[in-house]
Amino acid sequence: MSDKAILEINGQKHEFPLIKGSEDEVAIDIKNLRSATNGVITIDPGYKNTGACESAITFLDGEKGILRYRGYSIEELAEKADFLEVAYLLIFGELPTQEQLDQFHSDIKKHSVVDDDIKKIVDAFPRSAHPMGVLSSLTSALTAFNPSSVNVDSEEEMYNAIVRILAKFPVLVAWTMHKKLGLPLDYGDKNLGYVENILKMLFKQPNEEYVQNPILINALDKLLILHADHEQNCSTSTVRIVGSSHAGLFASLSAGISALWGPLHGGANQAVLEMLEAIKADGGDTKKYMGKAKDKDDPFRLMGFGHRVYKNFDPRAKIIKKAADEVLGDLGIEDPILDIAKGLEKEALEDMYFVDRKLYPNVDFYSGIIYRAMGIPTDMFTVMFALGRLPGWIAQWREMRLRKEPIGRPRQVYVGETLRSFKERKDR
């Protein structure tokens, strides 16, 4: 294969280098396109064909259904690693030794107290506020309580910012849920593992001891690992682009949380459950909703189906489907919503509309089902996604800053009015 691409514009040929990734992905390097062609740019709404960066964190192949963090397959990581280990791997590039992991966890625990004044901010939100709005605001507020900007030339400052947010974020997540449920805002328990502590902070009732359930620990560990990174998705690209202006880590993360909120991205897990509940309320007729999903005049889409990059299957969905069956079986849960989910899944997998368009259940189809079984309120599902995605956002932000990437600033093709004279108000 040649190592350059040739572009011909108005009879003039321009050469651009091809660059190859470590998995043989090929990209045309158009960094000099504008200067070489006297102002020509590319246009690619939704960035379906545009690589925004070179990255050594996550590899995914949507056609083959491959997802790897730092070279390790998601299947192996979900089976053998725990979430904190995966967080370390994503952020620092290698699996930690026991000593490195212990140090990492101990440094996180040192920062696990959130300034008590943040409780006043939590208090000011209405109980009805969407938890993603609350979480995004609280994460942004952390900036005010930790104002020092991160000097990326200082390993120590980078590390401190990272362990701080890994420590405080689960507390903010728990407070977001407790605010909604009218429960006290507590701090975690330093004696527990990272995931056990999250479970206790979420589910401990003020008047009883919290008893850990190994099935839930295992399921949450897996869910968080599966969501931990997914290369340049909408929220990650947001974190990188906000961080590219040298905004701080917490501010960049807060923007990422807002991006994740939307129903076409992280909000899909909430949308899945709401859709299942609506189908149940409407008599449980899945065929009717399959018909709506296929009708081009109907805006309804089957939530939890389809993916921008996975066009054969979502490898995370395979792992999580198994975990969902285990959790539901072990907890002995019977739920009509789950029967509707199973019915829809079966029908969609056999329907030519979905088969032809390669629309398969994605990770969010099953994650919502597990979160519901665990007792997490539906509008908290996307918050749980954010908790899992945190290490990925941090890793991508750190990589972007260490590589000293330029500020993100796309161009456009202007299609508005050309120059015209101002009209006085009376003449309009």
Candidate ranges 72-80, 236-244, 300-308, 335-343; the one touching ligand ACO (CB under 6 A): 300-308
Q: Which is nearer to ligand ACO, 169 or 381 (CB)?
A: 381
Residue 45 CB, nearest approach to ligand ACO (Å): 10
- The verdict on 305 binding ligand ACO (CB under 6 A) reads yes
- Decide if 177 contacts 131 (C-beta within 8 A): yes
Candidate ranges 54-62, 278-286, 304-312, 405-413; the one touching ligand ACO (CB under 6 A): 304-312
Q: Which is nearer to ligand ACO, 345 or 364 (CB)?
A: 364
Distances (CA, A) of 39 to 6, 35, 44, 310, 412: 17, 6, 16, 35, 12
- The verdict on 308 binding ligand ACO (CB under 6 A) reads yes
- The verdict on 293 binding ligand ACO (CB under 6 A) reads yes
Q: Which is nearer to ligand ACO, 169 or 365 (CB)?
A: 365
Residue 308 CB, nearest approach to ligand ACO (Å): 4
SS3 305: strand
- Decide if 229 contacts 395 (C-beta within 8 A): yes
- For residue 62, give the DSSP letter: T
| Nearest residue to the partner ligand ACO, using Cβ | 306
- Decide if 119 contacts 185 (C-beta within 8 A): yes
**What does 409-422 look like in DSSP terms, one character per residue?**
-------S----PP
Residue 301 CB, nearest approach to ligand ACO (Å): 4
Can you read off the two tokens belonging to residue 368? 């919502």
Residue 418 CB, nearest approach to ligand ACO (Å): 32
Query: What is the distance between the alpha carbons of residues 53 and 45, in angstroms, rounded to a whole number?
Result: 17
Query: What is the distance between the alpha carbons of residues 334 and 161, in angstroms, rounded to a whole number?
Result: 43
Q: Which is nearer to ligand ACO, 175 or 381 (CB)?
A: 381
- Decide if 134 contacts 126 (C-beta within 8 A): no
What residues from 360 to 419 belong to the interface with ligand ACO (CB under 6 A)? 362-364
- For residue 378, give the DSSP letter: G
Residue 229 CB, nearest approach to ligand ACO (Å): 11
Query: What is the distance between the alpha carbons of residues 201 and 380, in angstroms, rounded to a whole number?
Result: 14
What sign results for the dihedral spanned by CA atoms 299, 302, 303, 309?
negative
- The verdict on 292 binding ligand ACO (CB under 6 A) reads no
Candidate ranges 171-179, 203-211, 359-367, 373-381; the one touching ligand ACO (CB under 6 A): 359-367
Of residues 304, 343, 368, 391, which one binds ligand ACO by CB under 6 A?
Answer: 304
- The verdict on 306 binding ligand ACO (CB under 6 A) reads yes
- Decide if 307 contacts 317 (C-beta within 8 A): no
Of residues 34, 346, 357, 403, which one binds ligand ACO by CB under 6 A?
Answer: 357
Query: What is the distance between the alpha carbons of residues 101 and 195, in angstroms, rounded to a whole number?
Result: 14
Distances (CA, A) of 202 to 63, 192, 196, 224, 398: 37, 14, 10, 15, 29
- Decide if 337 contacts 280 (C-beta within 8 A): yes
- φ/ψ (deg, to 5) at 5: -115, 145
Size of the site for ligand ACO (CB under 6 A): 18
Of residues 14, 119, 280, 301, which one binds ligand ACO by CB under 6 A?
Answer: 301
What residues from 226 to 285 belong to the interface with ligand ACO (CB under 6 A)? 264-266, 268
What residues from 138 to 197 belong to the interface with ligand ACO (CB under 6 A)? none
Residue 264 CB, nearest approach to ligand ACO (Å): 4
Candidate ranges 51-59, 102-110, 188-196, 355-363; the one touching ligand ACO (CB under 6 A): 355-363
- Give the residue numbers marked as catalytic: 307, 364
Query: What is the distance between the alpha carbons of residues 375 and 323, in angstroms, rounded to a whole number?
Result: 16
- Residues near ligand ACO (CB under 6 A) are 264-266, 268, 293, 301-308, 357, 359, 362-364
